[in-house]
Amino acid sequence: MDEIPQTKVEGENSAGGVGLANRFRPLTSVVVAPEESPPPADTAQPEVAAPRAAGPVVGGVAYEELKHRLHHLLIGELEANELQKLTGPKAREAVEAAARAMLQQEAPNVIGLTRDSLIRAVADEVLGFGPIEPLLRDPTVTEVMVNNPDEVYIEVDGKLHLSPARFRDDEHIVRIIDRIIAPLGRRVDEQSPMVDARLPDGSRVNAVIPPVSPRGPLITVRKFRADKLTMDDLVAGETLTRRAAQFLGACVRIRRSMAISGGTGAGKTTLLNALSGYVPEGERIVTIEDPVELKLLQPHTIVLEARPPSLEGRGEITQRDLVRNALRMRPDRIIVGEVRSREAFDMLQAMNTGHEGSLTTVHANSPRDALARIENMVLMAGMDLPLRAARDQIASALDLVIQIARFPDGVRRVTHIVEVTGIEGQVVTMQELFRFLQRGLDAEGRVLGELLPTGIRPTFSEQFELAGISLPVDLFDAGRW
């Protein structure tokens, strides 16, 4: 085993952790039997795996117990102000060196991959988010769901899997929740048992504790993708066909206003971000989100984010406030990440008053349900609108509703592209332009099917030619492709 100098940690001056490796108490409570070999390492998922609280045994001591003691000894030796100075890669180097020195002096038989795994886990506890830190670093994981200390699920390729990551107990989970929300000035307690937050990388976090969650604290993390998917990526991933993508791109360019509808995790925001790539670069875009998820490539993009109330219940800025303010910012298009409440009225007003081509998403199970949800949100605006007036607003503002769903094989697919054509009596009329036809499952359980045109041409089809956009003559022919 390589010797670690006990007088200096490499990079300690730049990291701000002076002499960390030499500042620890003997780990006298850990009994290491020299004749025992370390437990086999998990080679399948070295970055994801974390043992259960009972854990494998390292020299007569449970792995998780050893990690817990190392963590507390290390924290006990670091002064609070010194720990705050540790940032970036140098911080991790200093903490890992200190943990390695502890093990080298007091538990020399903990070696190899087991030692490295233990040191990484301790560093994750000191500087990161504990057992879920490796999951947050794993680019293949899109969501992390902590149900209880021994039950951490992850989403990979649209499917849920039980992760080997484990927490020590409920208190351990609450400590990680506090670490997530503390920099944001938020709190979670019996008076405020639910909290939404955002990690430094933009990932969305929802945390719930008792009494709302009687069985224990919960954490759900929707990871932020730094590399947003383009429409070409969605076509390659079978979300929609090349022809359908070509049609939607042309609709964005001729300033058709769209609402993307779907359930939680169906891919609404991903599709919205891909569609925004067709907005001409010369236009000024204002995005309104809660929290920020979109990553537009256009150079003239203004980002606005809603803000929750402070601990005293003051200072809240809603999406409706932001939509109203955006109208004073000379936008060409307004993109609302998701309409949830009264801001739907102001968004429709914007679409009807010179901001055509705006985009948004809504939680709904079908295009018709999407219109009903938007209608309910408009009526919540407190404007005392009659039902017919609300439906007139919807019919004149929205041009297309795109339905997207996550299928059992984990693939997100566009299932309907529907045009809003007007209103007859008290009913907003729609016509289906594209529909996903499922033909069954293959031997591996993947859904077989395709998004096909219904044979109906949109009422605005002549606008493509006027805008100089050439589409295939058979684009809307039923049963083609």
Q: What residues does 205 pair with on adjacent strands?
A: 197, 221
> Is the pLDDT higher at 283 or at 117?
283
| 465-478 CB burial, b ≥16 within 10 A, e <16 | eeeeeeeeeebbee
The two structure tokens encoding residue 462: 């002549």
Task: Dump pLDDT digits (tens) for 341-358.
Answer: 999 999 998 998 889 999
Task: Dump pLDDT digits (tens) for 144-173.
Answer: 999 999 999 999 988 999 999 989 899 999
> Could you check whether the bond before residue 291 is cis, i.e. omega within 30 degrees of 0?
yes
Q: Is residue 30 part of a domain?
A: yes
Distance, first Cα to last Cα, the chain: 64
Q: What is the DSSP letter of 20?
A: G
d(CA 335, CA 467): 22
412 and 264 share one domain: yes
155 and 211 share one domain: yes
d(CA 151, CA 158): 19
Residues of the chain above pLDDT 90, percent = 53
Task: Dump pLDDT digits (tens) for 69-100.
Answer: 776 666 656 554 455 565 666 677 777 777 77
d(CA 148, CA 173): 8
Residue bearing tokens 């050439």: 470
- Asked if residue 281 lies in contact with residue 298, where contact means CB atoms within 8 angstroms, the answer is yes
d(CA 414, CA 404): 4
Q: Is residue 58 part of a domain?
A: yes
246 and 210 share one domain: no
Task: Dump pLDDT digits (tens) for 210-269.
Answer: 999 999 999 999 998 777 789 999 999 999 999 999 999 999 999 999 999 999 989 999
Q: Is residue 7 part of a domain?
A: no
Residue 452 banded pLDDT, cuts 50, 70, 90: very high
Residue bearing tokens 């200190």: 98
Parallel, antiparallel or unpaired: strands 61-62 and 57-58: antiparallel
238 and 152 share one domain: no
Task: Dump pLDDT digits (tens) for 403-425.
Answer: 999 999 999 999 999 999 999 99
Residue 108 banded pLDDT, cuts 50, 70, 90: low
Q: Is residue 66 part of a domain?
A: yes
pLDDT at 37 over 60: no
What DSSP string runs through 153-190? EEEETTEEEEES---SSHHHHHHHHHHHHGGGT---SS
d(CA 444, CA 442): 5
Q: Is 409 exposed, middle or buried (0-12, 13-18, 19+ CB in 10 A)?
A: middle
- Asked if residue 407 lies in contact with residue 447, where contact means CB atoms within 8 angstroms, the answer is yes
- Asked if residue 130 lies in contact with residue 141, where contact means CB atoms within 8 angstroms, the answer is no
- Asked if residue 342 lies in contact with residue 383, where contact means CB atoms within 8 angstroms, the answer is no
Domain that holds residue 327: 231-466
Predicted confidence at residue 6, as pLDDT, reads 38
> If we measure between CA atoms, which residue out of 466, 359, 442, 451 comes closest to residue 405?
451
352 and 260 share one domain: yes
Predicted confidence at residue 38, as pLDDT, reads 43
Task: Dump pLDDT digits (tens) for 54-72.
Answer: 444 444 446 667 777 776 6
289 and 426 share one domain: yes
In sequence order, the 6+-apart residues with CB closer than 8 A to the CB of 95 are 17, 20, 74, 86, 122, 123, 126, 127
CATH number at residue 191: 3.30.450.370
Chain mean pLDDT for the chain: 82
- Taking residues 456-464, report their average pLDDT: 95
Question: What three-state secondary structure class fits 234?
Answer: helix
Predicted confidence at residue 458, as pLDDT, reads 97
> Is the pLDDT higher at 88 or at 19?
88
Q: Is residue 436 part of a domain?
A: yes
- Taking residues 296-315, report their average pLDDT: 85
> If we measure between CA atoms, which residue out of 327, 280, 274 comes closest to residue 299?
280
Phi and psi at residue 147, to the nearest 5°: -95, -35
Q: Is 479 left (phi over 0), alpha (psi -120 to 50) or beta?
A: left
Q: Is residue 329 part of a domain?
A: yes
**Strands of 77-217, DSSP E:** 141-148, 151-156, 159-163, 194-198, 204-208
93 and 143 share one domain: no
Predicted confidence at residue 75, as pLDDT, reads 62
d(CA 107, CA 458): 73
Q: Which helix (H) or strand (E) holds 477?
A: none
pLDDT at 328 over 50: yes
- Please state the separation of Cα 438 from the chain's center in Å: 28
- Taking residues 442-452, report their average pLDDT: 92
- Asked if residue 402 lies in contact with residue 248, where contact means CB atoms within 8 angstroms, the answer is yes
> CA–CA distance from 360 to each of 22, 51, 153, 287, 344 (Å)?
56, 42, 30, 10, 10
pLDDT at 367 over 90: yes
275 and 185 share one domain: no
- Indicate the number of domains in the chain: 3
pLDDT at 141 over 70: yes
Q: Is residue 5 part of a domain?
A: no
- Please state the separation of Cα 349 from the chain's center in Å: 29
Of 222, 243, 267, which marks where a domain is finished? 222
> Could you check whether the bond before residue 211 is cis, i.e. omega within 30 degrees of 0?
yes
Of 190, 222, 254, which marks where a domain is finished? 222
Predicted confidence at residue 101, as pLDDT, reads 73
| Radius of gyration in angstroms for the set of CA atoms belonging to the chain, rounded to a whole number | 27
Q: Is residue 107 part of a domain?
A: yes
The two structure tokens encoding residue 84: 């705050």
312 and 267 share one domain: yes
Q: What is the largest CA-CA distance in the chain?
A: 85
| Cα dihedral: 383, 386, 387, 388 (round 10) | -120
Residue 25 banded pLDDT, cuts 50, 70, 90: very low
**Strands of 425-464, DSSP E:** 427-441, 447-453
The two structure tokens encoding residue 414: 């566009």
Q: What residues does 134 pair with on adjacent strands?
A: none
Of 71, 106, 127, which marks where a domain is finished? 127
115 and 155 share one domain: no
pLDDT at 475 over 90: yes
334 and 407 share one domain: yes
183 and 238 share one domain: no
